[in-house]
Amino acid sequence: MAESIEIHILKKIKKAKRGTLFFMNDFLRFGNSKSVAKALERLVKKDEIVRVARGMYARLESDPILGEVKPSIENIAKAIAKRDKARIIPTGVLALHTLGLSTQIPVNVVYLTDGAARKIQIGKHFIVFKKTSPKNLAAIGSISGLVIQALKEVGKGNLSEKEEERILMHLKKENRYRLEHDIKLAPEWIRVIMRKAL
């Protein structure tokens, strides 16, 4: 019986493209949580799959030069948000890094969410989900939402000309309707900067 659960799980994982993240809940139709957990553990021991974080598994992508490629922190955060049907947005140093305004990769990656607040360990890093009000997640543009968070991190009056140019370059790639919508959500000093992209 246990073997068939293992086979079912592996078949399902192999159907998806490498790097796809799976949670224990994805396999509960094959057995109860205890037997599924045991089957996953065995598959990890056999090197068929990798445990990415607690309760999260994947068959890693393989690169001819780098070898096995672990899922990015961003993909892990997105997978958790999708599972929890929650919205997330990167904040602080992560938002700056994503926009190329900082080379610093934060040890703790912080996302605002309307889902549950939690901290997830991925190797030496942590993904922190901070509960926030819906207003902070109301941005509909992926670039403009990121820019608002990045500018909040930089702070009023601390943006260099070069950084502003870079931000405007990103904002010009945003859909105009989304940008106009999101400008209304930003504090006034950020609106002033963002309007220049229109």
pLDDT tens readout for residues 118-166:
999 988 889 999 999 988 899 999 999 999 999 999 999 999 999 999 9
Contacts for 41-48: CB closer than 8 Å, 24+ residues apart:
42/6, 43/6, 43/9, 43/10, 48/10, 48/13
Which residue would you say has higher pLDDT here, 104 or 33? 33
Question: CB neighbours of 25 closer than 8 A, spacing ≥ 6?
Answer: 83
Q: Distances in Å between the alpha carbon of 125 and those of 109, 121, 159?
A: 8, 6, 28
Per-residue model confidence (pLDDT) at position 50: 94
pLDDT at 2 over 60: no
Mean pLDDT (whole number) for 169-187: 94
pLDDT at 41 over 90: yes
Mean pLDDT of the chain: 92
Distance CA 54, CA 142 (A): 28
CB 189 within 8 A of CB 155: no
Distance CA 93, CA 146 (A): 11
pLDDT at 167 over 90: yes
Mean pLDDT (whole number) for 55-62: 92
Per-residue model confidence (pLDDT) at position 147: 95
Tell me the pLDDT tens digit for each residue of 11-39.
999 999 999 999 999 999 999 999 999 99
pLDDT at 1 over 70: no
Distance CA 194, CA 198 (A): 8
Query: Domains in the chain and their CATH numbers?
Result: 2-63 (1.10.10), 73-195 (no CATH)
Per-residue model confidence (pLDDT) at position 105: 76
Sequence letter at residue 57: Y
